């Protein structure tokens, strides 16, 4: 079995905004397609142009779309009976961006779509993201890395805007 070691860079932004406001701001520029319909349309797509039109119609202003969300805080709230644990994992991405990375580094499909973690702590609401560039760096593809760096910039801007630390 072959293995490689990957050193991951985690981006973290802390917001003084309330959790629900951060989540609302985060979702404001992310597309929210009906994933069942999106998947069916993707299967029915016949040409690269069909796929591009489908994705362009599903993404938001951030050029990303939400694939899924997991309320990890719900499990903690059940265990801690009444504690207000707020942890949300958003799975977001853009199939066209993933394609550009995966055609050069197939393993990129294991990292995309990406996870954005939003959790409330004593010092504020944290927004965290493991950068795609750090995940792809060991593979040695400059082309895939350039796409990853561009994706990281999109996500960083999105997190800063949601946190209120970056002007729109």
Write down all domains in the chain, each with its CATH number in brackets.
Answer: 10-30+62-163 (3.30.310.70)
If pLDDT is split at 50, 70 and 90, which confidence band does 74 have? Answer: confident
Mean pLDDT of 53-66: 96
Q: Name the CA radius of gyration of the chain, rounded.
A: 17
Tokens of 3: 């293995």
Q: What pLDDT, in 10s, does the model give residues 90-108? A: 999 999 999 999 999 999 9
- Measure the CA dihedral 153/110/101/67, to 10°: -60
The mean pLDDT value of the chain amounts to 93
- pTM score: 0.90
Residue 84, exposed/middle/buried by CB under 10 A (0-12, 13-18, 19+)? exposed
């Amino acid at each position: 079995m072959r293995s490689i070691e990957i050193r991951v860079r985690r981006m973290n932004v802390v917001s003084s905004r309330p959790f629900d406001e951060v989540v609302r701001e985060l979702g404001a520029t992310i597309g929210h397609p009906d994933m069942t319909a999106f998947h069916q349309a993707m299967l029915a797509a016949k040409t690269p142009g069909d796929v591009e039109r489908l994705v362009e119609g599903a993404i938001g202003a951030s050029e990303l779309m939400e694939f899924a969300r997991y309320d990890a805080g719900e499990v903690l709230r059940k265990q801690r009976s009444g504690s207000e644990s707020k942890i949300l994992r958003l799975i977001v991405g853009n199939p066209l961006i993933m394609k550009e990375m995966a055609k050069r580094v197939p393993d990129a499909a294991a990292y995309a779509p990406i996870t954005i973690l939003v959790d409330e702590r004593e010092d504020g609401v944290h927004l965290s993201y493991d950068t795609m560039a750090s995940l792809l760096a060991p593979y040695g593809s400059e082309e895939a890395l350039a796409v990853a760096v561009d994706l990281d910039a999109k996500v960083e801007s999105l997190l800063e805007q949601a946190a209120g630390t970056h002007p729109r």
